[in-house]
Amino acid sequence: DVKVTQSSRYLVKRTGEKVFLECVQDMDHENMFWYRQDPGLGLRLIYFSYDVKMKEKGDIPEGYSVSREKKERFSLILESASTNQTSMYLCASSEGGSNQPQHFGDGTRLSIL
Amino acid sequence: GEDVEQSLFLSVREGDSSVINCTYTDSSSTYLYWYKQEPGAGLQLLTYIFSNMDMKQDQRLTVLLNKKDKHLSLRIADTQTGDSAIYFCAETLTNTGNQFYFGTGTSLTVIP
């Protein structure tokens, strides 16, 4: 079974802080993704990566950056957290190639005060 | 960008069938997926269908695809309280195969 682990289930931070969300997968998947989920808006793609040190912007990259130094780990960074970044953040991974099903972690509910 | 639409809410009685609908706009879809999200959890892959298929059945789940109308549905037979969750449809496209386009999600409530 694919295991995607997000380091925190709940996180509370203050406006202006630098925030790191970590995601690790154990299936040697090439592709990794970060989404945010907000009520009524579904999932919106922030960034994805198809290889180590590679990254691509998704639909809403503003205010975020990512890091993929190792194949199994994909980090999402909020450079200077703002209240409109309060959300559920979901990490996913998939095998290389097209159309591979994505496997999700349990999510991190982030609150910015 | 691609637009994938779902109704936000659906309520059914326990034992009845549930039908969750999804429409999309881009005809170059390759695969279409259904995911389930239970409260406080991530998304769990339920099933998926290749775009040249009309139907796929997996135990209590039946997926129907009408490619002409760009309409996808998920039917859950004999719906149970444990089926209460948010259901997301998603698709991949020919020219952006790694990227998933998700619907807004349908919250299914099963009434005992």
State the Cα–Cα distance between residues A66 and A42, nearest whole angstrom: 21
**Per the CB < 8 Å rule, is B99 touching A45?**
yes
Cα first-last separation, chain A: 37
Question: Would you say residue A22 has pLDDT above 90?
Answer: yes
**Per the CB < 8 Å rule, is B44 touching A40?**
no
Residues B3-45: tens digit of each pLDDT: 899 999 999 999 999 999 999 988 788 899 999 999 888 999 9
Which residues, 6 or more positions from A89, have their beta carbon under 8 angstroms from its beta carbon?
A: A6, A21, A34, A35, A36, A37, A76, A107, A108, A109, A110
Average pLDDT, chain A: 94
**Can you give the pLDDT at residue A106?**
94
Confidence of residue A39 (pLDDT cuts 50, 70, 90): confident
**Per the CB < 8 Å rule, is B98 touching A98?**
yes
Which of A98, A103, A106, A109 should be substituted to probe chain B, the one whose Cβ sees the most B Cβ atoms within 10 Å?
A98
Residue A99 forms contact with B (CB below 8 Å): yes
CA dist B76 → A96, B64, B69, B88 (Å) = 31, 12, 21, 14
**Can you give the pLDDT at residue B85?**
97
Closest Cβ opposite residue B43 in set A45, A48, A104: A104
- Assigned token pair, A66: 């990512």
What is the bridge-based pairing of β-strands A56-57 and A42-49? Answer: antiparallel
A7 three-class SS: coil
Among A50-59, A96-105, B58-67, B74-83, where is mean pLDDT lowest? A96-105
Residue A59 forms contact with B (CB below 8 Å): yes
Question: Would you say residue B97 has pLDDT above 70?
Answer: no
Confidence of residue A66 (pLDDT cuts 50, 70, 90): very high
Residues B44-74: tens digit of each pLDDT: 999 999 988 999 999 999 999 999 999 999 9
**Can you give the pLDDT at residue B29?**
80
Over residues A79-105, mean pLDDT? 92
Question: Would you say residue A92 has pLDDT above 70?
Answer: yes
* List of chain A residues whose C-beta atoms are within 8 Å of the C-beta of residue B31: 99
Cα first-last separation, chain B: 40
**Per the CB < 8 Å rule, is B102 touching A103?**
no
* List of chain B residues whose C-beta atoms are within 8 Å of the C-beta of residue A59: 1
Question: Would you say residue A108 has pLDDT above 80?
Answer: yes
